[in-house]
Amino acid sequence: MRKVLHSLGVEKQYSYEKPKKPQNPIYFSTAANAKKILGDPKLFNVVWGDAISSLTGGVNYMLSGDRPSNFTQHIAVSKAVYSDVPQGMDEVWEFYTKFTEKLLEERSYRLDNVMQVDAVRE
């Protein structure tokens, strides 16, 4: 595998060390702890920010960070979905339900007597 990764020019991105046992998780079970975690974005920041930014082409939007602008965007979207549109969540539910059914109808196939869809590919 090292030779293949070397030939692809990505060998330095990988470690060949034996995996280490992960640390035991720390559980927070009180309201005070939850408030502290959610209220301190410098100490407890979002871990998915880079992944979301890569999906949005580097755009720092709503769930991709802990900046004040992210919170402002989150409040605006929540207000738009939950307050500004009378049946906002019903409309969101209807959209995803119809779109999912449409995709399943378009992308599923019959294998023997069972309809299937390749969820990984799709």
**Chain centroid offset of residue 9 CA:** 29
Parse the chain into domains and list their residue ranges: 24-66
pLDDT tens digits, 3-52: 999 999 999 999 989 999 999 988 888 999 888 888 887 888 888 888 88
| Number of Cβ atoms within 10 Å of the Cβ of 65 | 20
Global pTM value:
0.44
